[in-house]
Amino acid sequence: MRLAAFAALAACAALAQAQDSAREIQRYRQMIAEGSPAELFEVEGEALWKKPEGPKKVSLERCDLGEGPGVLKGAYAHLPRYFKDADSVMDLETRLLHCMTTLQGRSREEATRRVFGSADRPSEFESLSAYIAAQSRGVRIAPGMSHPKEKASYELGRALYFHRVGAWDFSCASCHGDEGKRIRMQELPVLYKPEAARPVIATWPAYRVSTSQLVTLQWRMNDCYRQMRTPEPTFASETTVALIHFLTATARGETYHGPGNKR
């Protein structure tokens, strides 16, 4: 089923990019034969999770994603959530960065040098996200909603969603505010409504066929703000976490079944 859906997506993308289609089709065929491309990132992510890194030469295997040190099963489906050791609400990527700086002793500058990758060279955050998210398949989405900081983060996310700003006066709701709207041919989910948020959040992070990349929610927030003509939101900032928290809370109750595939 996953494969069939992916094959349909890949076929569309191959059609859309007629230029070097023959080579591309060959590449997709090969990837389909090997499984969903997201699975390749999951394999890479597992290796990175276990690889000693940083001045302390330790792996991330003792990283606590909220379910206890090293526990991956269901961890992604329960993020973002409040972490006492950092006294803040964190999504997956923010927590990974936290573990890179604390457990591995890496500097924030070094660890965030390449938070979004390219088709040739994925970012470690992308592969790690694919691997960790996959361990939540079949688990109900239930981000933290009880700690006062979790409530504040959710409220901030909702306020950000409707906040009109930037050179073109957009809010998220300018494009994701009304049913049945499109930008060019791309359908725009109304993400403050559970019906629309559920299938979207249940499949991120995702393999993006049009750019051959594994993309994360931090990337998605970044690229939507780029289209909004604002300056750049800082990776793992309270703003990006709050938006992801708001969207994930809106999708709560859905069973996680990613990493998925996108256009």
Partner 1 sequence: MSRLALLLALVTLPALGDPTPQDVQKVMQRDFHGRGQAGMDRVVQDGVQRLCTESHDRPPAELAKALQADQMKTIAYPQGSLLGDWQRGEAIAQSGRGLTWNDKPGDAAGGSCYNCHELSPQELSHGTLGPSLRGFGRTRGASPEVQHYVYGKIYNAKAYNLCSQMPRLGASGTLTPEQIKDLVALLLDPASPVNR
Place of tokens 């990337």: 219
Q: Which residues pair with 183 in a beta bridge?
A: 186
- Classify residue 152 by burial, with Cβ atoms within 10 Å: 0-12, 13-18, 19+: middle
The DSSP symbol for 83 reads E
Binding to partner 1 by CB under 8 A, coded x per residue (else -) over 200-239, reads --------------------------xx-xxxxxx--xxx
Nearer to ligand HEC, 59 or 248 (CB): 248
Nearer to ligand HEC, 76 or 225 (CB): 225
Binding to partner 1 by CB under 8 A, coded x per residue (else -) over 150-189, reads -----xx-xxx-xxxxxxxxxx-xxx-x--xxxxxx--x-
Selection from ligand HEC, partner 1, none that 189 binds (CB < 5 to 8 A by kind) is ligand HEC
Q: Tokens at residue 110, please?
A: 């070094």
Least Å from the CB of residue 252 to ligand HEC: 15
Least Å from the CB of residue 7 to ligand HEC: 19
Residue 80: asked if its preceding bond is cis (omega within 30°), the reply is: yes
- The SS3 assignment for 11 reads helix
Least Å from the CB of residue 109 to ligand HEC: 25
Q: What gap in Å lies between CA 257 and CA 143, rounded to an integer?
A: 15
Selection from partner 1, ligand HEC, none that 212 binds (CB < 5 to 8 A by kind) is none
The secondary structure of 190-223 as a DSSP string is: -TTSHHHHHHHHTT-SEEETTTTEEE-HHHHHHH
Q: What gap in Å lies between CA 218 and CA 241, rounded to an integer?
A: 8
Residue 52: asked if its preceding bond is cis (omega within 30°), the reply is: no
Residue 195 contacts residue 251 (beta carbons within 8 Å):
no
Least Å from the CB of residue 250 to ligand HEC: 10
Binding of residue 119 to partner 1 (CB under 8 A):
no
- Say whether 63 is catalytic: no
Half-sphere exposure of 171 (CA within 13 A, CB side): 15
Least Å from the CB of residue 177 to ligand HEC: 9
Least Å from the CB of residue 238 to partner 1: 6
Strand runs labelled E in 69-150: 81-83, 88-90
Residue ranges in 173-192 that form contacts with ligand HEC under rule CB under 6 A? 174-176, 183, 186, 188-189, 191
Binding to ligand HEC by CB under 6 A, coded x per residue (else -) over 145-174, reads -------------------------x-x-x
The secondary structure of 58-69 as a DSSP string is: B-STT-B-SSSB
Residues of this chain that bind partner 1 (CB under 8 A): 155-156, 158-160, 162-171, 173-175, 177, 180-185, 188, 226-227, 229-234, 237-240
Q: Which residues form the catalytic set? A: 224
Residues of this chain that bind ligand HEC (CB under 6 A): 170, 172, 174-176, 183, 186, 188-189, 191, 200, 220-221, 224-225, 227-228, 243, 247, 262-263
